[in-house]
Structure 1
Amino acid sequence: MIKTSARQQVRILILGRFLSQIGTGFTLFYAPIFFVNQVGISTTLVGIALGAASIAGIIGRVLSGSLCDSPRFGRKRTLLLSAVSSGLGSFLLATTQDFSTLLIGSLLNGFGLGLYWPAAETIVADLTQPEERRETYALNRLADSLGLEFGIVLGGAWVEWTQEYRLLFIIDGVSYVVFFLVLGLALKETIAPGLERENPLKNWLRALSDRTLLIYAAANILFTTYISQNHTALPVYLSNFIPGAEGNGFPARIVSGLFAWHIAVSVLLQLPMARWLNRFNHARALMISACIWALSFISVWVIGNSSRPLIWSIVALGVMAIATISYTPSASALVVELAPEQMRGVYLSINSLCWAIGYAIGPPLGGIALDGSQQLANNFWLLLAGSLILIIWILQRLEQRLIAQGQLYTYPIPDESHL
């Protein structure tokens, strides 16, 4: 194989992620509609199948951490296995005629997604220097966002033009085949050749006894709970609780436009924000992110109490985009620094599991608030903003512990040409 540099390897991984996310975008919003309205499976059974995918994702995350840290298996094979599982799931979903096929396809997709995140983030950690990691993680998230948006736009245009849903799942499966080929042919294994083989159970027990990691995990679960509100409670709130031009709530086209604005801000500011935050240590950068989250929730609360809700919605969605992109690169980079090299996969698996927990807590929490009165729905966002006091306190404890352990680092702003 032709020898490639770490920079080229990172670019290959970013390209692979972009391609696979295009396929995901094709099916993300249209799967429930297809299975309920065209296949004829009940909404309850579709919900059960999609929920089962989340459980399979948790199993995949746990397994991914152990496989990534195994010298016999490694990071690359784990990533390729995720593509195989997700691709098989997508092709199976394309043939779905009944609940059993839907369930198996969803389980394969969820399992593949669970395998993917720890492996992808571990490879980034292996290929980058500490001062480069935040920006590199930001670039990977940028590729994910761009790919997802391309897929959503193209998938929506295809459905509107043809009303043919099954081809979307076939394209999704093909994207995983391309992802597999690109990474299989061009990506090298990044696990250190001299790494000793450890007992997987011993690694997990050691990681779960790391108090510094557990303090971080508590903050991370709260962060991901906040992020889940953006995808679940906020669209419903804007649609049903905000006085709009067409009755109680903004019409679908305005809600869609607001989230397009949200994604555009994320894409435009992802790299500038990562470079600006690089002057702070990771714990301090996360505190800054927490403050921005508080501002975003206060802005959402103002929407429901303003005579100009649309203007405040634009402000709130923009601030929430900045809050999200200020969190993700620092969070992953911090976990890498906490992890012993031979346990990076397990540590990043725990980081990924925090997302699963946050997304298990967040949607029901938002649902309870929105099922209540108008006042409760409005004040829910103030309660979220107030809870940021807790997360800042946790992060201050984390910073103190990192100082005591000599693990609190700041880095010079990297040369922008490093990728």
Structure 2
Amino acid sequence: MKTAFLSQLSCLLPSIHPQVRVLAIARFLSELGTGFTLIYAPIFFVNQLGLSTTIVGFGLASSSFSGFFGRILGGALTDSPRWGRRRTLLLATAISAVGSLVLATTTNFATLVIGNLVYGLGIGLYWPATEAVVADSSDIDNRREAFALTRLADHLGLAIGLVLAGVLVTIFMSYRWLFVVDAFSFVVFFGVVYVAMKKPDQLLVQPTQQTQNFTAWISALSDRRFLIYIAANILFTIYISQIHTIIPLYLKNFISVGETAQSFSESTISRLFSWHLVLVIICQLPLTNLLKRYSHSQALTVSAILWAIGFSLIWVTGNFPSYQLIWATLALTALAMASVAYNPSAASLVTDLAPESHRGIYFAINSLCWALGGFIGSPLGGWALDQSPLITHHFWLGFVLSVAIAITILQYLNWVLVNSQ
């Protein structure tokens, strides 16, 4: 499998625009730092600072609040000839680095919120610009592969960072330095983009005459096909928010393993999520290539089914008193496949729907789904973990049932797209 993966990667790289390769390197280095805090941030805030899971859920969700405005501003700046993709990325990484440093000093709920507000603003600026670079630098024949490559870089960085973070926490039992490493990774991203990304962007699609932002936003929000996709995408982003904020806490604090009745250790959780990321890395390109024969909405339907399977297995992990490690491994396997099926198809669909001159705004709205998903998903999951065992352990079945709604929306979208051609 490893040999086939490397062979497919080597065949893909020559067809990918140099700007995407530069961006993939920068994203790898940045996500390497993010991997240090990915699953340990909520554990640190709850278990070491003594904050409740509900409070931590709201604290983490505050990044989605500032990210909402960051994404709106990011979409406008990304489409602006005066700012463009490169400058927006530089601004985003600088702000994110400051946010990580604030989180490193967190001692109470107030600093937790401040840090997440700053961090969320940077991330909000980041996503429309980085997705627009990939969209501009790819054509219809290799667009899914271009998005898959950058996602592969993201997850490879996350996986390595996650493993290194597990080692650091196990040896030193120190969580604060994890945020310092994350801040440094954003500084490195800034340096790579500043040095290696051309100015102005030399992409397949050159910047066009700026249109009025208000008119562009109204046009995007009047796009019926795009709005149908957004309805489904909000559900997907709520699902994604559970993986790195709620599921680690659930496995750590609410699962009794075997006869010892102890929860999963930090090292076990680290290995589980490393397995999740390794699968994403290995399967990103092969599964993307396999799903390429289907339409974007059909590929997203496959992703929805995999989300349902994954959440069902999380429910089994918490409700059956044996083989929890096996069930948890299978759950994270299914969730990994769901993520792989989701990301390239969702981004490619947005690219297909967006006019070239408004890609930044379309990706900003698409990214707002992530902000809304985190704003809903993190507090919802935190609330569920603070309730009675009946609610806490059966909470996951609600997500399984909601997948039926997502699939219905996607089938309607597929019908609309077919009939609008």
Length-normalised TM-score, structure 2: 0.84
Could you tell me whether the CA contact under 8 Å between 1:277 and 1:285 is conserved in 2?
yes
Distance in 2 separating the partners of 1:15 and 1:133: 18
Q: How far 1:216 moved relative to its partner?
A: 0.4
Distance 1:93 1:374, change over 3 A: closer
- Deviation track 1:124-159 (CA, whole Å, cap 9, x = no partner) reads 000011221222212211211221232233344345
Q: Once structures 1 and 2 are overlaid, which stretch shifts more, 90-99 or 282-291? A: 90-99
Is contact 1:36–1:46 with CA below 8 Å preserved after alignment?
yes
Letter of the aligned partner of 1:279 in structure 2?
A: R
Partner residue of 2:167? 157
- 1:378 offset after TM fit, Å? 4.3
Read off the aligned partner of 1:327 and give its amino acid letter.
Y
Contact 1:76-1:190 within 8 A present in 2 as well: no
Structure 1 partner of 2:247: 234
2:210 to 189, 193, 197: 197
Q: Which of 303, 314, 318 is equivalent to 1:300? A: 314
Contact 1:71 1:193 in 2 (8 A): no
2:9 aligns with: none
The normalised TM-score by structure 1 is 0.84
Residues 42 and 245, structure 2, Cα contact 8 Å, conserved in 1: no
Q: How high is the sequence identity, in percent, across the aligned residues?
A: 50
Cα offset, 1:66, TM superposition: 0.7
In structure 1, the gaps of 5 or more residues are: 407-419
Aligned-residue Cα RMSD (Å) equals: 3.2
Report the Cα offset of residue 214 of structure 1.
0.9
Q: CA deviation at 1:35?
A: 7.8
Q: CA deviation at 1:281?
A: 0.7
The answer (yes or no) to whether the contact 1:222–1:358 under 8 Å persists in 2 is yes
Aligned with residue 14 of structure 1, among 13, 18, 24: 24
Aligned to 1:310: 325
One-letter identity of the residue aligned with 1:57: G
| Aligned amino acid, residue 150 of structure 1 | I
Structure 1 pair 159–297 and aligned structure 2 pair: CA distance change class (3 A): closer
Q: Which residue of 2 aligns with 1:416?
A: none
1:198 positional shift? 0.9
The equivalent of 1:272 in structure 2 is: 286
Q: CA deviation at 1:182?
A: 1.3
Residues 125 and 366 of structure 1, relative CA distance in 2, 3 Å threshold = same
Residue type matched to 1:7 in 2?
H
2:11 alignment counterpart:
none
In 2 relative to 1, CA 289–261 (structure 1 residues): closer, same or farther, beyond 3 Å? same
Is the CA contact (8 Å cut-off) linking 1:93 and 1:102 kept in structure 2?
yes
Q: CA contact under 8 A between 2:64 and 2:375: conserved in structure 1?
A: no
Counterpart in 2 of 1:219? 232
Cα pair 1:89 1:107 within 8 Å, conserved: yes
- Residue equivalent to 1:135: 145
Report which stretch shifted further, 380-389 or 133-142: 380-389
Contact 2:145 2:285 in 1 (8 A): yes
Q: 1:113 and 1:248, CA in 2 relative to 1: closer, same or farther beyond 3 A?
A: same
Q: Offset at 1:27?
A: 4.0
- Unaligned 5+ segments in structure 2 are 1-13
The equivalent of 2:406 in structure 1 is 391
Distance 1:398 1:86 in 2: 35
CA contact (8 A) 2:162 2:274 kept: no
1:255 to partner: Cα distance: 3.7
Tell me the equivalent position of 1:76. Answer: 86
State the alpha-carbon separation in 1 of the partners of residues 136 and 39 from structure 2: 34
Q: Output the amino acid matched with 1:205.
A: I
Cα contact 2:158–2:277 (8 A) shared by 1: no
Which residue of structure 2 lines up, in the alignment, with residue 208 of structure 1?
221
Change (3 A) 1:37 1:310: closer
Number of aligned residues = 402
Alignment partner for residue 187 of structure 1, among 187, 191, 197?
197
CA distance in 2, matches of 1:172, 1:377: 31
